[in-house]
Amino acid sequence: MFLFRPKTIFRFNILVIFGFTVFAVVIVANAAAIMFQQRDTWNKIKERYIQDSIPLIPERGRILDEDGNLIISSLPSYRLRIDFVYINEDNQRDAEKVRNKREELWKKHIDEVCEGLNKIYPDVSAKTFKKRIQEALKKKNRNFRLYNGRTSYTQYNKLLKLPIFCLGKKYSGLFFEKVELQSPDGKSTIERKNIFGDIGRSTFGLVKESYKDGKQIVVKNGLEKKYDSALGGKPGIGRKETNRKGDVITKILAPPEPGMDVQTTINTEMLDICEDALKTMLTRHRLPAGWAVLMETKTGDIKAIVNLVRNNKSNGEIEYFETSASHPNNPTPNHALCRLMEPGSIFKTVVITAMLHDKRATVNDSVIAYKSKRVIYDGRPVTDLVYRDNGTGKYSMGEVLKYSSNIGMVQYIKKAYGKDPRNFIKTLDHFGLRQCHKIIDEEEKPKITTPDDVKIWSRSSLNSLSRGYATEMTALSILNFYNTIANGGKQMQPRLVKAILNKGEVVEEFPTKVINEQMISKEVVDDVTELLVNVVHGKDGTGASAKSSLMKVAGKTGTANLVNPKTKSYEDYGKMMSFCGFFPADDPQYTLIVQTIYENHQDDRSADNKAKLGGGSVSGKVFKEIAERIMARRLTKPIEDAKDSKKAHAPIVKNGNINEAEYVLSEMGMNGASGDRSTDWGEIETDKESKYSYTPQKTDINTVPDLTGMGAKDALYLLQRRKLKVIVNGYGTVRQQSMPPGSRYTPGETITLTLEN
């Protein structure tokens, strides 16, 4: 055995310890250098080669109309490429077979494919497509850019129907890159598009993004907010890597789940009618704002909501947009659902219904008709604009409503509820007038002054309530009450969303809902309906402007003074002009409220002209136009009834999308199509022999198209593709356009279209 001396062992241990210490110091020093001195370098390398847990943004769901047609969508865009070489490392024989098949397909169908590509991308000729594709085939290009611009979702789907491309990626070699919008810090952003422009935007909602301190802030409102959990989908998880060739690739660890669709009750044609009628009246009188809500009587379904606010342009012109939270002169993103205002005389219908319901009055009762037009009640003056002498010195209940007499209403309410105003408030609650339906999260709850509000209730408060003051209501609250009258006393829950859909299948349904099967007796409903018809059709009725020769209309006007938001007093600040009613009165189908705002400080018109603005002269006329156009669209018959068995029919076809026109004509039995089909847009002419021919119209994306003879739908589509703002006046076909055909434009410019029948 070999023995060490103690001193030798000690020295050996010292050397070992020293060696390990030096080794440890070197490791720590290198680690410190990497952590501090080389930190940025290694972080860049990490970012270049790998990023873990990257959120993959799901495609947001769509908002649809009552028939499931698209209103709002994220509508992605793509960059398309073709790999002309097929590789199958596991099966070389299969790869060779596919490559031979590809070459055969391209030789056979290249002309047909290029003509199809030209129709999808009119700015590139079929000849150019053919030349570029043949060169790429020859070079066996593995990353051929099919089209230099972005491809829309619609264009992408059309392309997949072309020869070769319809056979799938294996034979076409087509692959795509989804184009993500990028914020300044490089993060993906959300882009939502309303195919009808900004119409209905305040109700459908916005998804607005901003970035603060590198963090994304997303603000939502309207339906986008209320149904965000369904629309938003679920993010996926990805892993971004850089391969040996330097290409950045994203490996999907957990795929994102796309959002579901929200199907609304909105009818887009009715929405367009309401917006057009309201915008025309606002423009005529240069009013700052207006809104309208259309409800289907039997179901409570909201068919249209329009909220418009004025914008003064630098050149002195005015235009109207859907309201938004960021718009000047606009206290709310949605007037109809979120703006609480004193309703004025349209509330008189509520008061009279309450008295009849509680049997505190009858339609045969009468009150004094004061000639002075100004009477003091409970220390405060009450005035009427006009006095009509009927020879009796009294007004019946019908006359008080027809003439909208404030003095008469105060007398009625004092007799009915002067001793117990709480009973009146109880009846209003029975009517659901303090209920918030939460159509959208931002919807406001109505307010009614009650005797329990000791700080603001006074002996004149009941008098104020009789004529629509001392209460703040939304347009929806008043509309739903009138709808109950129209519906025979049955109160429906207002409905804006029908269902949540996932890939076309119903996930959650929101059926129509009855709040109160008989909120008001049939006898009271009949009495009130007769009174409201008399307001419109009776002699000297304030609602005469809403009178239609086509049907009976029931409704009530209202002109309420506005409160100055700074001084909290009326002081001739302005007025809200309203009309609320239903049509046809003998078989109600729809209930409609129209409200417009007038502000004195924004207008220099004469006192006489100001006095002419009122609920009947402004909102009543809008009501009439909407009602007549809504009912006219219902007067349709089967197309077979329009055919003449003895004479050939030659329908007149609007200019526009040839594909859509061709489909309708073929359904009508027309045949013998001829003409140049190099584009989807143009003119179709028909003859007496049931034949039709095409005259194409080239639509250069960089110039203003010729819209003459087109309907609003096709014209809006072409203009919105060019990111032009559109103002439409009238209805029918385009007769005039403010920007001449073929002229250059700047995205964001406004073009005005004049339509006539």
Instruction: Reply yes or no on whether the pLDDT at 183 is more than 50.
Output: no
Average pLDDT in the 248-257 region? 70
Residue bearing the bigger pLDDT, 158 or 515: 515
Burial 545-580 (b: 16+ CB within 10 A, else e): bbbbeeebbbbbbbbbbbbbeeeeeeeebbbbbbbb
pTM score above 0.75: no
pLDDT tens digit sequence for 286-343: 898 999 999 999 999 999 999 998 887 777 778 888 876 544 445 667 899 999 999 9
Q: Please tell me the distance from the alpha carbon of residue 20 to that of residue 26, in angstroms, as a whole number.
A: 10
Q: Which long-range contacts (CB under 8 A, 24 or more apart) does 464-467 make?
A: 465/347, 465/351, 465/413, 465/424, 466/348, 466/351, 466/406, 466/409, 466/410, 466/412, 466/413, 467/344, 467/345, 467/347, 467/348, 467/382, 467/406, 467/409, 467/410
Average pLDDT in the 591-619 region? 79
Q: Which long-range contacts (CB under 8 A, 24 or more apart) does 25-28 make?
A: none
pLDDT tens digit sequence for 519-569: 999 999 999 999 999 999 999 999 999 999 889 999 999 999 988 878 878
Instruction: Reply yes or no on whether the pLDDT at 683 is more than 70.
Output: no
Contact residues for 213 (Cβ-Cβ < 8 A; gap 6+): none
pLDDT tens digit sequence for 375-434: 999 999 999 988 888 889 999 999 999 999 999 999 999 999 999 999 999 999 999 999
Q: Can you give the pLDDT at residue 39?
A: 64
- Label residue 757 by pLDDT band (50, 70, 90): low
Q: Which CATH class is domain 650-756?
A: alpha beta
Helices (H), 219-303: 222-226, 228-231, 268-285
Q: Please tell me the distance from the alpha carbon of residue 473 to that of residue 483, in angstroms, as a whole number.
A: 15
Letter for the amino acid at 107?
K
Task: State percent of the chain over pLDDT 70.
Answer: 77
Instruction: Reply yes or no on whether the pLDDT at 578 is more than 90.
Output: yes
Q: Which residues share a beta bridge with 643? A: none
Instruction: Reply yes or no on whether the pLDDT at 211 is more than 60.
Output: no
Instruction: Reply yes or no on whether the pLDDT at 649 is more than 50.
Output: no
Instruction: Reply yes or no on whether the pLDDT at 671 is more than 90.
Output: no
Average pLDDT in the 218-228 region? 85
The DSSP call for residue 37 is I
Q: Which of 291, 264, 230 is nearest to 497 (CA)?
A: 264
Mean pLDDT across the chain, nearest whole number? 82
Considering the segment(s) 48-74+190-264 as one domain, its CATH architecture is: Alpha-Beta Complex (3.90)
Angle at 328 between CA 441 and CA 228, to 5 degrees: 25
Q: Can you give the pLDDT at residue 513?
A: 96
Superfamily for 268-634? DD-peptidase/beta-lactamase superfamily (3.40.710.10)
For the ranges 346-350, 546-550, 566-570, 651-655, the maximum mean pLDDT occurs at 346-350
Question: Residue 475, SS3?
Answer: helix
Q: Can you give the pLDDT at residue 5?
A: 60
Contact 312, 318 (CB under 8 A): yes
For the ranges 82-86, 149-153, 198-202, 467-471, the maximum mean pLDDT occurs at 467-471
Q: Please tell me the distance from the alpha carbon of residue 546 to that of residue 340, in angstroms, as a whole number.
A: 25
